[in-house]
Amino acid sequence: MALSDDLTASFADFGVTATSGGVTGVVILDQPDEMVLDGQVIFRDYNAHAKTSEFGTLTIGSTITISSVDYEVRSVDQDLDGLTCQIALSKA
């Protein structure tokens, strides 16, 4: 079975609802890794894994709502297969 055949099932098992613009889909949210320097939190790193067909066209600075929380897009990178993408986020 190809990954593309099972993509929807994978996201259904581990994902949460996300909306941006007129698109609603399911993403897998990784939260957060803290970057600490000299005892101070520099930033928290949130990442969402999504289907490229749903959220691959997001642009830097756009907003995506995941589980009722707003995030700002920092970058969108396609994975090697082109079917999924990783979206770097910060809380809006």
pLDDT(78) > 50: yes
Contact call for residues 63 and 70 (beta carbons, < 8 A): yes
pTM: 0.82
The pLDDT value recorded for residue 6 is 73
The class level of CATH for 3-91 reads mainly beta
Q: Where are the domains of the chain?
A: 3-91
